[in-house]
Amino acid sequence: MVSGGGGAELGRGHHHHHQSLKKGPWTAAEDAILMEYVKKHGEGNWNAVQKNSGLMRCGKSCRLRWANHLRPNLKKGSFSPEEEKIIIELHAKLGNKWARMAAQLPGRTDNEIKNYWNTRMKRRQRAGLPIYPQEIQDKAAAAFHLHQHHKRPQNQISPSPPAALLITSQNPAYNNASLSAMFNSFNFQSPTNIPLQNQAPGSCLSNPNNHAFQLFFDSANANAGGFSLLPYHPPSSTTSLMNENIQTQTTMQMPPFKVNSAPGNHEMSFSAMISQPIDFGTGLESELPSSQIPAVPKQASAPASSGSSGGFCAVGISSTTDNNNDYQISQKATCGGNSGLLDDLVQESNKISSNEKFKGQFESFSDAGDKGKSVVDASSADEEVNEGVESMMANAADNNNQWDDFSSSQSSIEMNKTNQEPLEEMQSMDDDLMSLLNNFPLSVPLPEWYPGTSTETSNVSSSSMTGGNQEATTTDHQPNTPPAPAPTTAASPDLQWSLGSCCWNNMPGIC
DNA sequence: AAGCGTGCCAACCGCAATACG
DNA sequence: TCGTATTGCGGTTGGCACGCT
């Protein structure tokens, strides 16, 4: 923030009295000083700039100015369609890793990308459009589906975050079939007593992308061991826009999304889820903020994309009426540990799974002794996972480069590069994910209302979902999507949604 | 012409990671 | 090994320009 706006020049007029560092916009004169300094001494040691050059700027400010405006080979101006496409792709993979994204876009800075993304998000949000172009999701979903058929052994849980991240509740127009197919390949291996109740209400697994899911028990589908997994967005999202979305929209139409879990083999089926060189002019210009010095006219901004999907999530669901597609968005009250660190996930997972009370149950289907190691492995494999996602998406993007909002059909070089060894990368990703998911907190006892137990409804649901008095108040959020077909298993008026959540927000940079 | 909303941009802040003595 | 300094990163904020009413 430009503290105090353009007038925040703390040191102006007082340089001889104290060493207040100047803030606010840089002047051309300051730029020239910095340029000269870097030219002479090279980059780095930014704190020395102020000492040696007399520039009344802190090192951080100098570094930022240099990196974002003064360093050579910076591109100025609007992003090209190709660049926009790459940004979308990268964001789908990396989340808000602006620096990493910038590394893929020569001449662009993380700040530029971040600003672009945020404004784009804001625009799309206002328009009620999802964030990611549908095609990205479609391709990721398709790729994932293929991947699952290619490799996934049966009876193993593997809700791959890469695919999951692209599956968001904001995508009304999403191809239900493809997602359904994708997640039909998810298989749980667990005892009959899926232990979720013991999980803290706020318990969640998440990734930095704020793509999260919550697992709910679907009592209407209880006879089939029904669980439902809903996209979820925590309140402490790193993306304020997403928070805003959650806060301002209480309900939304969402296609069915559930997990059919049968004893011993819980198959999840998702019907849906979800820059010109600085003018070093002298004279008057030198005292103007350099940003006010006329620069090359900017190109017209690229049109906003209007694809599908988005980052916020449905936290609860209410299907007590005929319209059992009324998924509800609510702000999760307690999503413990949203730091985005895998450690949080590990700790929580271990904490839960180490619960002595349910240890035996857990051990029946999971090697508890390896939990810690597995998670560590998964954590250290962050990069490989990213690579896996990359290759997966690259694969998926191979055949069709149609973008709903972007004129370009050019794929990123990185994407193409990783096409070379997609299977190996996927394999690596799978292994890592398996390790991680082996720690998935499943050692929670059956809820009372689980089949064979009391039919009493858990009160937990109220903490993770809003009431059932939902109208589709957010239908405008998904203007292009007809209501999804009602899932037969969710048609029961007795449908109850509860239990703790499991989301992906604390996952490492898997996506 | 004035007021308002929005988009864009620049720059700051806090925190975490890393380097260094 | 520890404390400090430096660097890097992501989130946030405020100003300006522009279009619309």
**Mean pLDDT by 10-residue block, N- to C-terminus, for chain A (511 residues)?**
32 39 87 86 84 85 89 84 86 86 88 86 75 70 60 36 35 32 31 30 34 35 34 35 34 32 33 33 44 38 33 32 33 33 40 39 34 35 38 38 36 36 41 39 33 34 34 33 33 31 33 29
Report the distance separating Cα A163 and Cα A304, nearest Å: 24
DSSP-assigned letter for residue A220: G
- Residues A108 and A130 occupy one common structural domain: yes
Domain end call among A108, A128, A146 = A146
Identify the pLDDT of residue A168: 35
- Residues A107 and A64 occupy one common structural domain: no
Identify the pLDDT of residue A60: 87
CATH number of the domain within which A34 lies: 1.10.10.60
Range of the domain at A41: 23-72
Report the distance separating Cα A496 and Cα A220, nearest Å: 7
Question: Do the domain assignments include residue A505?
Answer: no
Question: Do the domain assignments include residue A140?
Answer: yes
Closest to A132 in 3D by CA, of A305, A253, A329:
A305
Strand B contact with A126 (CB < 7 A): yes
Domain end call among A146, A171, A205 = A146
> What are the angstrom distances between the C-alpha of A489 and each of A189, A447, A449, A485?
21, 19, 17, 11
- Residues A81 and A44 occupy one common structural domain: no
Strand B contact with A344 (CB < 7 A): no
Strand C contact with A300 (CB < 7 A): no
Identify the pLDDT of residue A90: 86
Report the distance separating Cα A406 and Cα A401, nearest Å: 10
Residues in A 284-343 whose C-beta is less than 7 A from nucleic strand B are 289-291, 298, 301
Q: Indicate the number of domains in chain A.
A: 2
Report the distance separating Cα A157 and Cα A160, nearest Å: 9
Question: Please, which positions of strand B sit below 7 A from a protein CB?
Answer: 6-14
Question: Do the domain assignments include residue A49?
Answer: yes
Strand C contact with A240 (CB < 7 A): yes
A24 CA: nearest nucleotide by C1'? B11
- Residues A83 and A131 occupy one common structural domain: yes
Strand C contact with A99 (CB < 7 A): yes
- Residues A32 and A68 occupy one common structural domain: yes
Question: Do the domain assignments include residue A490?
Answer: no
Identify the pLDDT of residue A497: 31
Strand B contact with A3 (CB < 7 A): yes
Strand B contact with A116 (CB < 7 A): yes
Domain end call among A146, A177, A205 = A146
CB count within 10 Å of CB A326 equals 25
- Residues A34 and A88 occupy one common structural domain: no
Nearest-CA residue to the C1' of B9? A115
- Residues A122 and A88 occupy one common structural domain: yes
Question: Do the domain assignments include residue A426?
Answer: no
Helix (H) / strand (E) containing A251: strand A251-253
Identify the pLDDT of residue A52: 83
Identify the pLDDT of residue A89: 84
- Residues A87 and A52 occupy one common structural domain: no
CA A394 vs. chain centroid, Å, equals 18
Identify the pLDDT of residue A485: 32
Question: Do the domain assignments include residue A242?
Answer: no
Question: Do the domain assignments include residue A368?
Answer: no
Phi/psi of residue A262, nearest 5 degrees: -105, 155
- Residues A64 and A85 occupy one common structural domain: no
- Residues A85 and A49 occupy one common structural domain: no
Nearest-CA residue to the C1' of C15? A5
Q: What angle do CA A215, A243, A254 make, to 5 degrees?
A: 45
Strand B contact with A111 (CB < 7 A): yes
Question: Do the domain assignments include residue A37?
Answer: yes
**Three-state secondary structure string covering A395-437:** HHHCCCCCCCCCCCCCCCHHHHHHHHCHHHHHHHHHHHHHHHH
